[in-house]
Amino acid sequence: MGLGGTTLQTLKLATIPTTSSSSSLRFVFKPLSQSFLYRHSRRRPALQLFFVRGLSAPAVQATATATPKTTNPDEKGMKQQWKAAIDFKWIRDNKDAVAANIKKRNSNANLEHVLELYHKMLNLQKEVERLRGERNVVANKMKGKLESSERQRLIEEGKNLKEGLLSLEEDLLKLTDELQQEAQCIPNMTHPEVPIGGEDFSTIRKMVGTPHEFSFPVKDHLQLGKELDLFDFDAASEVSGSKFYYLKNEAVMLEMGLINWTLLEVMKRGFTPLTTPEIVRSSIVEKCGFQPRGANTQVYSIEDSDQCLIGTAEIPVGGIHMDSIIAASLLPLKYVAVSHCFRTEAGAAGTASRGLYRVHQFSKVEMFILCQPEESDFYHEELIRIEEDLFSSLGLHYKTLDMASGDLGAPAYRKFDIEAWMPGLARFGEISSASNCTDYQSRRLGIRFRSSEPALTNPKKGKSNLAPPQFVHTLNATACAVPRMIVCILENNQQEDGSVIIPEPLRPFMGGLEFIHPKPR
């Protein structure tokens, strides 16, 4: 489920002291050991599927195991610098295709400015190389026997070249940073089968079930929750503000039941369970393709720090293997993560946002896959199939949508949404999404894999004969967004006497509870 929005909100939270937080946070984001990954990975046969060319260059040769950065990112308010492996030459050579993609995705990326900066950078690089060459010539001349006047002239010339070179190198660094910032706004390329246009142009892939028929007036989840004493929005509004809530009584059991049932069902399909940090560095949010401090954000940023609250577990899970190279034999890596999520939901209003449908804090179970490029279409289909199986098991009436280009976030190459029928709203409401982000996130996070097979060409003397590392593809999907699932369960399973039937798969996870009955007055 996306992280769109319009305004930035900040949290005034106390930052954790550097002396105690640095080591613990580094431990959290350390890549899992290969032995652990091997035990929990299940290899699928590779399929020859359509592969989109990423917007970045092939991976540079690197060591087999990445080492953590040595910079201290815990300094208060420090802005972490990072660079995505963007293939500017490919962008330049495919300018028309990239421009068309930006337009159909309604992106505000400025391609012309990116190409202008790239042209300037190339020219500046040539000038830097020219000066370096001249400096080397002067240095070589000074190695021989020279008249004092000639030596003094060369010393002055070398000094001038050094000063000019330092100035140009500083200009090159600034230009490179500006180019990176502009180019990072360019969205991922789009799957050729994605419908073009705004959200209304999304197409239905599948329709499952039919709306429940009721012989009595239908209540929405707010009315049901009040009569069954399941949540308290008024007290939460006083304590925390609007769009917060307390779950009470059977609603607490329902949340725990949904999480545990979903977690076990997904684990049966070979996913490794995780709980994640719920505070991450702003740079991690950016690397996953979101804008934590931009004009359009739903991210809560922590004041006077470089940290944010997560809007989805996709972000901390994506960071686990940051700056590492994974053995191809360990792919795919499949994770299912449980976390709280925090979103500003700025601009949300109207009846569709009432109650639990759109809130600032909620629990969610998220699936995340890292795989080889030729397999990502296959695993995208697997993710949406898992979601459909889960929602069918709960007896929901839903439709699966192939989302149109204008509704795709920057990282998504293709996105499938599932919308369930909500009788109280008398409409379908989004309950999950599944996105294939190809190598958009991995090029920013620095996550690559290396095949054990030797390179096709003979390596230079002393060089490894291993094939160069490639960027993995990443995928994410919502297995269970708890508040909206509660909305669906309450509204679709309400009875004339005011009770609600608990879906059968959840009962073993709720102490055998079959009904939620109105409380005696």
- Give the residue, 73 or 367, on which the prediction is more confident: 367
| Cα gap 267→260, rounded to integer Å | 10
Buried residues in 189-221 as b, exposed as e (16+ CB within 10 A): bbbeebbeeeeeebeeeeeeeeeeeeeeeebbb
Residue type, 403: M
3-state helix, strand, coil in the chain (%, to 5): 40, 20, 45
- Is the per-residue pLDDT at 6 higher than 90? no
Grouping H, G, I as helix, E, B as strand and the rest as coil, residue 334 is: strand
| Cross-strand pairs, 448 | 325, 471
Higher pLDDT, 164 or 258: 258
Does the annotation place 386 within a ligand binding site? no
The residue type found at 365 is V
> Is 270 exposed, middle or buried, given 0-12, 13-18 or 19+ CB atoms closer than 10 A?
middle
pLDDT computed for residue 137 by the predictor: 83
Please state which of the ranges 22-26, 168-172, 261-265 shows the lowest mean pLDDT: 22-26
Nearest to 481 by CA among 415, 390, 374: 390
Min mean pLDDT across 85-94, 166-175, 178-187, 454-463 is at: 454-463
Residue 362 host element (H or E):
strand 361-371
Confirm or deny that 393 is annotated as ligand binding.
no
Q: Which residue has the tokens 């400025």?
A: 110
- Residue 359 counted as an annotated binding residue: yes
Q: What is the mean pLDDT of the chain?
A: 83
pLDDT, tens digit (0-9, with 9 covering 90-100), for 450-469: 987 666 555 565 566 778 99
Strand-pair partners of 415: 435
| 296 annotated ligand-binding residue | no
CA 103 to CA 110: how far, in whole Å?
Answer: 10
Rounded CA gap, 394 and 489, in Å?
8
- State whether residue 427 is helix, strand or coil: strand
- Average pLDDT, stretch 491-518? 97
Fold of 199-453+465-516: BirA Bifunctional Protein; domain 2 (3.30.930)
pLDDT above 80 (res 5): no
Across 23-37, 263-277, 285-299, least confident range: 23-37
Ranges of beta strands (E only) in 293-344 are 300-302, 307-309, 324-327, 333-342
Cβ atoms of 456 and 310 within 8 Å: the answer is no
362 carries a ligand binding annotation: yes
Separation CA 278–CA 363 (nearest Å): 11
Domain with CATH 3.30.930.10 in the chain: 199-453+465-516
Domain with CATH 1.10.287.40 in the chain: 88-184
Say which DSSP state 199 is in: G
| Interval 280-309 mean pLDDT | 85
Which tokens go with 274?
A: 């995780």
CATH code for the part of the protein at 88-184: 1.10.287.40
365 sits in which H/E element: strand 361-371
For residue 432, say whether it is annotated as part of any ligand binding site.
Answer: yes
| Rounded Cα gap, residues 411 and 285, in angstroms | 12
Q: Where are the beta strands (DSSP E) in 266-327?
A: 272-275, 279-281, 300-302, 307-309, 324-327
Residue 352: enclosing H or E segment and its boundaries?
none
Mean pLDDT of the 323-337 span: 96
Q: What is the pLDDT of residue 33?
A: 40
Is residue 240 over pLDDT 50? yes
- Do 409 and 294 form a contact (C-beta atoms < 8 A)? no
299 or 371, which is more confident: 371
Confidence of residue 160 (pLDDT cuts 50, 70, 90): confident
Q: What confidence score (pLDDT) does residue 455 get?
A: 60
473-486 tens-digit pLDDT: 999 999 999 999 99
Determine if residue 366 is labeled as part of a ligand binding site. yes
Is the predicted pLDDT of residue 382 greater than 70, yes or no?
A: yes
The three-class DSSP label of residue 98 is helix
Inform me whether the pLDDT recorded for 77 exceeds 70. no
Please state which of the ranges 32-41, 49-58, 142-151, 390-399 shows the lowest mean pLDDT.
49-58
Q: Is 433 annotated as a binding residue?
A: yes
Do the Cβ atoms of 412 and 476 come closer than 8 Å?
Answer: no
pLDDT confidence bin for 73, thresholds 50/70/90: very low
